[in-house]
Structure formats: structure tokens, C-alpha cells
Amino acid sequence: MEPWIFPWWLWAALGLLLMAAELIVPTGFFVFFFGMGALVTGLATAIGLVQTLVPQALLLLVVSAASVALFRKPLMATFHKGGHVRKVDSLAGETAVAIDAIAPGDVGKVELRGSTWSASNSGDAAIAAGARCRVESVEGLTLRVRI
């Protein structure tokens, strides 16, 4: 039985196709690094380091996995530097609307940014249903609010 042989240009074409696919469908740079692995495999095949399908596939997997492990996090940090990412802690100071009446020290529900949150009344006054309240802090998934 003749071993399967993939030519170098097929690996290069696959690599370029995968890298272009990353531009069309953003996958968080996973497909990009598999494209890089395919290009490295094509180069290794062209210079004669690997010839048959099994070593080529192993080289593709090793290079792709190593690239993801080593370069994905710094690349993601570089491209998301200017991005607007809001952390949950940035909810402090915002205004929520009470869904339930919440007595001081009790827990109820409030609406903030279109979502329903559990809220603990940290103030001395009761919060009536429908009243606006200020978010003081976030503890896990519970907002600490007061009037």
C-alpha cells in the first residue's frame, strides 16, 4: 500500500485558507494558529523534513498547539487593548430600579441594564418597588444598593 503524500503547496494553500477564514469568522485566533501550523508543515514538506501524511499531521498538531499556548494570550491582549470591556465592578455608582420592595438588610430584585439582579439593601431606608436606587458595590452576583 502506497503511503499518502500531501504536497507542500496543498499545506500552504490550507494554511492561507485557514488564516483568511479567521478574518471572515472571528474565532479568537484558534483557526489562525492552525493556519500557521499548516504553513509550517508546508515549509517542512517543501524542504524535505517530512514526506508522508502521518508525520505531516503530527507536525501540524504540535506546531498549532504550541502556537496557541505561547502566542494566543499576548495576541488577544494586543488586539483587545483599546476595546471597551466593562467589568461587573463598574456597576458601582449606577442607578437601578427596584422590582421588589426591599427592607433594610433584606434581599430583593432590581433591574439594571436590562437584566434582573439580586440586590441587598445596605441603607437605612426601605426601597419601594419601582423606586430608583444607587448601586454601591457588587458581591458575587448580588448588588448592594441604597436609596
Task: List, for residues 94-119, the tens digit of each pLDDT value.
Answer: 999 999 999 999 999 999 988 999 99
At which residue does the C-alpha cell 500557521 appear? 36
Sorted by where each begins, the domain ranges of the chain are 8-79, 88-146
User: For domain 88-146, is the CATH number 3.40.630.30?
Assistant: no
At which residue does the C-alpha cell 506546531 appear? 63
Q: Specify whether the CB–CB gap between 142 and 110 falls below 8 A.
A: no
**38 closest CA partner among 6, 2, 70:** 6
Beta bridge partners of 127: 102
Looking at the predicted structure, is the pLDDT value of residue 78 above 60? yes
For residue range 3-52, what is the model confidence (pLDDT) as tens digits? Answer: 777 899 999 999 999 999 988 987 888 899 999 999 999 999 999 999 89
User: Residue 88: pLDDT band by 50, 70, 90 thresholds?
Assistant: low
